[in-house]
Amino acid sequence: MARSIGSNFLAQLNSSEIRPFYAIKMNFTSGALLLNTTYNDLVIGGNTYLSSGHILNISQIAETSDTKASGIQINLTGLDSSILSAGLNDDVAGMVVEVYFGVLTTTSNADVIVDTPYKIFEGFIDTMVLDEQGISSTLKFTVENKMIILEKPTDRRYTDEDQKDLFPNDRGLEFVASLQNKSIAWGGGSK
């Protein structure tokens, strides 16, 4: 897949000093949870990603040349009670997760994002596990790549009834049943 990043982003990556960050968007039914790995809130695409530099852990994001779905794990610890409540009360399976990589400018101490952060992963929450260790709690999310959809079997059939479920006025598969036992003399005359 062709990918492009802004010239300022590329220049920042090639410089001797770099201030990278990750931003995560988890779309729960009660609303999106927006977090970033810096110590300050960041505004990306009009949305405010809350700082969580010391509480966010993202596993390695693997990329292969094969067409296969490689998932990741996201761990949240030291959670605010509202975040913990949303994680426990929402049905999180299948919720969309987006992970972005970006850099902050190094020319000043300001937290200014260079160009647009780059989406490095998109997938669906598979499982969520709450791990309580005395005074701290950790939410562990297993997130499957969106390509996991390619591995699921389809329930669709090439029948007129199945096609009409999708498109009621479509008559393209109307004669499929009558073709099942039809004898066709290919390349010759009929006998």
Give the three-class secondary structure for 25: strand
- pTM of structure: 0.70
Digit-by-digit pLDDT tens for the chain (191 residues) are 456 777 777 777 777 788 888 899 988 887 888 888 888 888 888 899 888 765 667 888 777 666 666 788 888 877 666 666 766 777 777 888 899 988 887 777 667 788 888 888 888 888 888 877 777 777 888 788 877 666 677 777 788 888 888 889 988 888 888 888 888 778 766 55
